[in-house]
Amino acid sequence: NAGVTQTPKFQVLKTGQSMTLQCAQDMNHEYMSWYRQDPGMGLRLIHYSVGAGITDQGEVPNGYNVSRSTTEDFPLRLLSAAPSQTSVYFCASREQPNTGELFFGEGSRLTVL
């Protein structure tokens, strides 16, 4: 049982490049989400999904795009990377509509030059 798997763990981009952070979970969780973690800012919600085909914006959605075609996968796309998107990104999932604990991946550290 792998839990929540994120790839890649590390990535360096140049300003303007695009990329996709992958997230997969094998717990059959309906709810999946993406957070970014910056020093002194805690974790901030980017986008979330309550089931396949359903996505919604979180607190800081600008510059990011998501889709949810299957229950297992929830990729996060950076359309045109900016230095302000340098951060550590975490994918997390939980049972839905359960309001219980989130299960986190190990994170993807992104640097935009």
Partner 1 sequence: SQQGEEDPQALSIQEGENATMNCSYKTSINNLQWYRQNSGRGLVHLILIRSNEREKHSGRLRVTLDTSKKSSSLLITASRAADTASYFCATATRSGGSNYKLTFGKGTLLTVNP
10-47 burial code (b ≥16 CB/10 A, e <16): ebebeeeeeeebebbbeeebbbbbbbbeeeeeebebbb
User: Does 43 engage in binding with partner 1 (CB under 8 A)?
Assistant: yes
Rounded least distance, CB 58 to partner 1, Å = 7
What is the β-pairing status of strands 108-112 and 10-13? Answer: parallel
- Reading the block at residue 104, the tokens are 């986190």
Pick between residue 28 and residue 101 the one whose CB is nearest to partner 1: 101
Rounded least distance, CB 12 to partner 1, Å = 17
- Reading the block at residue 25, the tokens are 């979970």
User: Does 90 engage in binding with partner 1 (CB under 8 A)?
Assistant: yes
Rounded least distance, CB 102 to partner 1, Å = 6
Binding site for partner 1 (CB under 8 A): 4, 35, 40-45, 48, 50, 58-59, 90, 92, 97, 99-107
